[in-house]
């Protein structure tokens, strides 16, 4: 969202009428990629709260603006950000006259966020600026002076596969706010990307703190071209034999063993190649992944042809109609060299048919940011029990984007994915459920409710799913015990 620089009414009046405090000019200069640069200026109040005084959002490169402020004696700080995560690229802020802590120019050297504290007048300022304070971490926050436990580091998984001991890297973040046995979200980066990149632009750590779940960012391996990837069988990677499903499942088992996680609330999302891999997990690891949410992803045709999941995995796709990399209309003849893959509507139809679902309608979302050149339609499919669900966020005019980070700004892809995960049921049930009555010589081996939770075979007042000793499955409704 683009903000124009604004002041509170009292400061604006004082600046243009009579300033009874200290008149300060804040000059902001953008460098390259000026639209990525922004800041908020706060006054740190005596009660510990922060009062927003002014904001800036860059729009053009090499642009200079001035904010004339009337500041009373006290403590202040800038909360600064860069939407791409590579610092301000020559952009800076400066002030006149010089103030304590703000005597020259300031720039965000690198990363997505930072702080700069200063004071007006005499006194002692002890402004607390929370963030990762370890410069050796993957996500240090420039200017932070209170470590908030958010630092993350690469970790290494050592696991056995095909009589070999393999090592793979990943990032794991488990916020203190997460309750015992919390959900786990895997986030897979795109081709040539990295675990750190998608951690930063997806902002899943902040969502994990807010909603109380753990998040893991696996790191792909290098292909013969020297690019990071997750192996889904692209045509030009015919010589690659890394088994990323085996790696993911080994990583899942390691995390479940060493952290307090809910094994029935495991989800996956990813960008582009990472989204493609999510479809592979839905087909080959449906007993572990309750839901997946590919962003700008597709399912390879050979993966679809061989897709035989043991249970239904809830599916959410977020995809731009003008995606020039992963084509919305698909590439069935492999003209682009990735390999054959169906269109996004055909992909949705495949899972809808596989899970025996019906359409729930299509809704247009509000165009809250007309300047992004795209709008969003949401189509959904489910059954009477709303379990499982398939949803498509069709970004009309959208490209190969992670909405909310770049491209469409009407939605936040990360938040959309989490809300989908949080609202989905845990099917945990075999596909192709048979409704024929059992033979008299069979016995009930297990009983679940419609959400996949084990329950007594004589539970009353609800639809039950029963697994029988002859291999059949039946639906039962008991009105009395």
Q: How crowded is residue 36: how many other Cβ atoms within 10 Å of its Cβ?
A: 23
Average pLDDT over residues 169-191: 96
Segment 104-112 long-range contacts (CB within 8 Å, at least 24 positions apart): 106/78, 106/80, 108/37, 108/80, 108/81, 108/82, 108/142, 109/142, 110/86, 110/142, 111/82, 111/85, 111/86, 111/87, 111/139, 111/140, 111/141, 111/142, 111/200, 112/81, 112/82, 112/83, 112/85, 112/200
* Structure confidence by residue, pLDDT tens digits, 399-410: 999 999 999 999
Distance between CA atoms of residues 212 and 444, nearest Å: 37
- Mean residue pLDDT of the chain comes to 88
CA-closest candidate to residue 387, choices 280, 286, 284, 291: 291
Q: Are 106 and 94 in contact (CB under 8 A)?
A: yes
> Can you read off the two tokens belonging to residue 33?
């990629």
- Residues of the chain with pLDDT > 70, as a percent, come to 85
What one-character DSSP code corresponds to residue 438?
P
Residue reference for tokens 């004071």: 119
Q: What is the pLDDT of residue 428?
A: 58
Q: Are 344 and 317 in contact (CB under 8 A)?
A: yes
Per-residue pLDDT, averaged over 17-21, amounts to: 83
352-375 burial string, b = 16+ CB within 10 Å, else e? bebbebeebeeeeeeeeeeebebb
The per-residue b/e assignment along 317-346, b for 16 or more CB within 10 angstroms, e otherwise, is bbbbbbbeebbbebbeeeeeebbbbbbbbe
User: What's the confidence (pLDDT) of residue 480?
Assistant: 36
> Quick check: 299 and 342 in contact, CB under 8 A?
yes
Q: What is the pLDDT of residue 337?
A: 96
Q: What is the mean pLDDT of residues 365-381?
A: 96
Banded model confidence at residue 384, pLDDT cuts 50, 70, 90: confident
In this prediction, residues 361-367 reach a mean pLDDT of: 97
| Tens-place pLDDT, residues 222-269 | 999 999 999 999 999 999 999 999 999 999 999 999 999 999 999 999
| Amino acid 18: pLDDT | 82
346: left (phi over 0), alpha (psi -120 to 50) or beta: alpha
Give the distance from CA 456 to its chain's centroid: 38
Contact call for residues 379 and 361 (beta carbons, < 8 A): yes
Is residue 474 scored above 80 in pLDDT?
no
pTM, 2 dp? 0.80
Using the predicted structure, report yes or no on whether residue 358 has a pLDDT greater than 60: yes
Top mean pLDDT of 78-87, 125-134, 288-297, 425-434 is at 288-297
**445 confidence band (pLDDT: 50, 70, 90):** low
CB atoms within 10 A of CB 161: 14
Among the residue ranges 217-221, 352-356, 361-365, 455-459, the one predicted with the least confidence is 455-459
Asked if pLDDT for residue 62 goes beyond 80, the answer is: yes
Whole-angstrom Cα distance, residue 439 to residue 161? 43
pLDDT value of position 460:
46
Please tell me the least confidently modeled range out of 14-28, 34-48, 247-261: 14-28
Q: What is the pLDDT of residue 432?
A: 47
On the question of pLDDT at 330 being above 70, the answer is yes
Q: Which is higher by pLDDT, 465 or 340?
A: 340
Confidence of residue 70 (pLDDT cuts 50, 70, 90): very high
Reduced to 3 states (helix: H, G, I; strand: E, B; else coil), residue 198 is helix
pLDDT at 395: 98
3 state SS of 60: coil
Phi, psi of 353 (to 5 degrees): -70, -40
Burial class (CB in 10 A: 0-12, 13-18, 19+), 278: buried
pLDDT for the residue numbered 433? 38
DSSP state of 328: T
Give the pLDDT mean for 60-71.
Answer: 95
Average pLDDT over residues 164-191: 96
The answer to whether the beta carbons of residues 71 and 21 sit under 8 Å apart is: yes
Residue scoring higher pLDDT (457 or 57): 57
Q: What is the mean pLDDT of residues 337-346?
A: 98
pLDDT per residue as tens digits for the range 100-118: 999 999 999 998 999 999 9
Q: Between 146 and 6, whose confidence is greater?
A: 146
């Amino acid at each position: 969202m683009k903000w124009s620089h604004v002041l509170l009414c009292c400061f604006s009046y004082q600046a243009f009428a009579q300033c009874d405090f200290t008149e300060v000019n804040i000059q902001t200069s953008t460098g390259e990629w000026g639209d990525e640069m922004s800041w908020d200026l706060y006054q740190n109040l005596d009660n510990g709260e922060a009062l927003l005084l002014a904001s800036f959002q860059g729009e053009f490169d090499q642009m200079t603006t001035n904010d004339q402020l009337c500041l009373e004696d006290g403590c202040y700080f800038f909360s600064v950000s860069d939407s791409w995560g590579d610092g301000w690229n020559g952009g800076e802020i400066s002030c006149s006259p010089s103030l304590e802590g703000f005597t020259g120019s300031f720039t965000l050297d690198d990363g997505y966020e930072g702080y700069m504290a200063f004071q007006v007048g005499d006194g002692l300022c002890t402004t607390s600026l929370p963030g990762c304070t370890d410069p050796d971490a993957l996500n240090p926050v420039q200017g932070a002076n209170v470590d908030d436990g958010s630092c993350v580091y690469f970790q290494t998984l050592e696991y056995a596969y095909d009589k070999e001991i393999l090592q793979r890297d990943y990032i794991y973040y488990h916020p203190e706010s997460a309750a015992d046995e919390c959900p786990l979200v895997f986030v897979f980066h795109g081709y040539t990307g990295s675990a750190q990149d998608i951690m930063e632009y997806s902002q899943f750590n902040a969502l994990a703190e807010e909603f109380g779940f753990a998040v893991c960012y696996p790191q792909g391996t290098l292909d013969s071209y020297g690019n990071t990837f997750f192996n889904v069988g692209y045509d030009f990677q015919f010589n690659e034999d890394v088994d990323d499903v085996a790696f993911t499942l080994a990583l899942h088992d390691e995390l479940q063993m060493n952290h307090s996680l809910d094994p029935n609330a495991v989800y996956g999302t990813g960008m582009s190649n990472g989204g493609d891999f999510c479809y592979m997990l839905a087909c080959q690891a449906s007993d572990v992944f309750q839901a997946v949410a590919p962003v700008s992803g597709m399912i390879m045709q050979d993966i679809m042809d061989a897709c035989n999941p043991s249970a239904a995995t809830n599916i959410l796709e977020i995809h731009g109609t003008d995606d020039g990399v992963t084509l919305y209309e698909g590439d069935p003849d492999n003209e682009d060299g990735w390999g054959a893959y169906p269109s996004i509507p055909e992909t949705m139809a495949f899972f809808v048919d596989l899970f025996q679902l019906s359409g729930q309608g299509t809704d247009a979302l509000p165009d809250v940011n007309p300047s992004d050149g795209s709008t969003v339609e949401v189509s959904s499919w489910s059954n009477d029990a709303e379990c499982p669900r398939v949803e498509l966020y069709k970004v009309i005019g959208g490209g190969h984007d992670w909405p909310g980070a770049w491209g469409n700004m009407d939605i936040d892809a990360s938040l959309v994915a989490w809300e989908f995960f949080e609202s989905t049921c845990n099917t945990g049930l075999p596909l192709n459920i048979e409704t024929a009555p059992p033979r008299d010589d069979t016995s009930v081996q297990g009983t679940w409710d419609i959400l996949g939770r084990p329950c007594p075979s004589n539970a009353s007042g609800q639809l039950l799913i029963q697994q029988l000793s002859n291999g059949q499955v039946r639906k039962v409704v008991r009105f009395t015990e």
